[in-house]
């Protein structure tokens, strides 16, 4: 029997939770409340296909925790969607938000369809109907529950959601905050698209900058020169590969559902992306070698492995064949608890999803704040900063009699744009979270791995929130 049959995704999340809970001081009842999903909404609704037939759509929205409001979590379109998966992902969102100090409760949504099998018009009808069902049951709103993109969805779907919500809630001044990941023209924030991949890079970079951790793994400090393999060339995988490559790492293999490619000299993710757009596949990319199976990429020798696709791709069945020194979980739940036990024996550092892929929700938080404040980041201070820096440069040139070079002058004069501030906030968030988790792990010899330390951090923060509300003593 395979591991997927033995334990469901939600059960695996609970297993990791229970593993960490024994390292906390909280009462069993408190821990059970934190672990439980508070609200589960399962719905069915009909849509008319382009060919005139009627199809009944299955969909979900789960609110895992109300210790903070609103709840927050993506909506995925996948024919693998089921209640257990959505509950697991909502749970991870609670812990993720707590770890990176984003004041949301965890939520998640899913529609059981393969978006490739539907026309854009059919997808719009499904998305809008799903939104109206959420509105009916008070499962969406800027102060209630705020969805975002996930697997199979993006800016387009988020624009449909905010438009539907606004039409059903006329006059609600903060309506744009009902969903994040929107196009910038519809109230989105610059920097959201690349946020999860950039957050993965910031988190792994911070780990690689810790000499004592790298020494244990037999690696040099820093990102530069390290070999990287990325599974998944969607939004998260693409941007993860991009930032690693741009900062001196070598992306030696890329994998997608149709196969995987390898080039020891390194791959450019954008060139591979264009090749896939043109041919429909990453295979047969010029200069690269095709691998027999897409899962072969997971088992190749490298310094850093980034699984950025779906859950449970590394299990007890294949974990022993993984040769990476560091695994960065860009996807949700790509490694199972049994795989973690094997990594421990092999001295492989698994940097857990529950904080590493928090870049999306962190920048979603910035977008939500932007929607509530009704002002673009940088608008108030950009020109003031540039004018002030200009005066400082003039004063320096006057006092020294030397001219500042044009390139240096442009850098000094630059006032922060929205994307600069968003990236800065994300970098601070990921660095702080990495250091906090590492501090818990490295200062407690009984905590076996980084994932358990991350859960300890999350449990303590959520339990403290409940205690401060007076719900628990």
Just list the catalytic residues: 108
Burial 407-438 (b: 16+ CB within 10 A, else e): eeeeeebebbbbbbbbbebbbebbeebbebbb
Q: Distance (Å, rounded) from C-alpha 225 to C-alpha 122?
A: 46
Q: Which two tokens stand for residue 334?
A: 């790509």
- Asked if 95 and 106 touch (Cβ cutoff 8 Å), the reply is yes
460's enclosing H/E stretch is helix 450-468
Q: Distance (Å, rounded) from C-alpha 31 to C-alpha 28?
A: 5
* CA dihedral (290, 296, 298, 299) positive or negative: negative
Strands 105-111 and 71-77 turn out to be parallel
3-state secondary structure 94-114: HHHHHHCCCCCEEEEEEECCC
* CA dihedral (25, 29, 33, 36) positive or negative: positive
Number of Cα atoms under 13 Å in the Cβ half of residue 282: 31
Q: Distance (Å, rounded) from C-alpha 256 to C-alpha 270?
A: 14
The phi and psi torsions of 374 (rounded to 5 degrees) equal: 60, 35
Q: Distance (Å, rounded) from C-alpha 457 to C-alpha 467?
A: 15
Secondary-structure breakdown of the chain: helix, strand, coil percentages, each rounded to the nearest 5: 50, 15, 35
Angle at 149 between CA 143 and CA 151, to 5 degrees: 140
Number of Cα atoms under 13 Å in the Cβ half of residue 220: 7
- Asked if 316 and 337 touch (Cβ cutoff 8 Å), the reply is no
DSSP category for residue 189: -
- Asked if 392 and 409 touch (Cβ cutoff 8 Å), the reply is no
Side-by-side strand order, sheet with 54-63: 39-48, 54-63, 105-111, 71-77, 145-149
Q: How many CB atoms lie within 10 A of CB 466?
A: 17
- Asked if 74 and 108 touch (Cβ cutoff 8 Å), the reply is yes
């Amino acid at each position: 029997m395979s591991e997927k049959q033995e334990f469901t995704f939600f059960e695996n999340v609970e297993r990791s939770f229970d593993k960490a809970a024994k390292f906390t001081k909280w009462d069993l009842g408190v821990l059970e409340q934190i672990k439980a999903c508070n609200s589960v909404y399962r719905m069915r609704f009909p849509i008319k296909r382009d060919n005139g037939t009627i199809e009944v759509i299955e969909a979900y929205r789960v609110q895992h925790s109300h210790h903070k409001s609103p709840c927050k979590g993506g909506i995925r379109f996948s024919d693998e969607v089921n209640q257990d998966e959505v509950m697991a992902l909502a749970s991870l969102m609670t812990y993720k938000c707590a770890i990176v100090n984003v004041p949301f409760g965890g939520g998640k949504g899913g529609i059981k369809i393969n978006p490739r099998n539907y026309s854009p018009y059919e997808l719009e009808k499904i998305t809008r109907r799903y939104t109206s069902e959420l509105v009916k049951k008070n499962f969406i709103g800027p102060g209630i529950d705020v969805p975002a993109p996930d697997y199979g969805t993006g800016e387009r779907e988020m624009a449909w959601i905010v438009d539907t919500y606004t039409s059903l809630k006329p006059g609600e001044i903060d309506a744009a905050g009902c969903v994040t990941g929107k196009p910038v023209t519809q109230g989105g924030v610059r920097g959201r698209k690349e946020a999860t991949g950039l957050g993965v890079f910031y988190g792994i970079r911070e780990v690689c900058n810790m000499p004592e951790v790298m020494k244990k793994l037999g690696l040099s400090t820093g990102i530069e020169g390290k070999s990287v393999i990325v599974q998944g060339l969607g939004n998260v995988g693409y941007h993860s590969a991009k930032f690693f490559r741009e900062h001196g790492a070598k992306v030696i293999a890329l994998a997608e559902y149709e196969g995987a490619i390898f080039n020891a000299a390194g791959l450019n993710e954008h060139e591979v992306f264009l090749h896939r757009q043109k041919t429909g596949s990453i295979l047969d990319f010029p200069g690269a070698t095709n691998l027999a199976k897409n899962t072969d990429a997971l088992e190749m020798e490298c310094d850093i492995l980034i699984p950025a696709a779906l859950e449970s791709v590394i299990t007890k069945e294949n974990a022993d064949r993984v040769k990476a020194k560091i695994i960065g979980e860009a996807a949700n739940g790509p490694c199972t608890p049994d795989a973690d036990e094997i990594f421990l024996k092999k001295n492989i550092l698994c940097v857990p999803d529950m904080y590493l892929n928090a870049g999306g929700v962190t920048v979603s938080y910035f977008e939500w704040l932007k929607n509530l404040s009704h002002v673009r980041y940088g608008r108030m201070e950009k020109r003031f900063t540039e004018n002030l820096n200009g005066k400082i440069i003039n004063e320096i040139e006057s006092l020294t009699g030397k001219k500042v070079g044009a390139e240096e002058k442009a850098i000094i004069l630059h006032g922060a744009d929205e994307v600069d501030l968003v990236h800065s906030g994300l970098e601070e968030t990921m660095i702080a979270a990495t250091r906090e988790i590492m501090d818990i792990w490295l200062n407690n010899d009984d905590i076996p791995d980084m994932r358990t330390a991350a859960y300890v951090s999350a449990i303590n923060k959520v339990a403290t929130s409940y205690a401060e509300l007076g719900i628990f003593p």
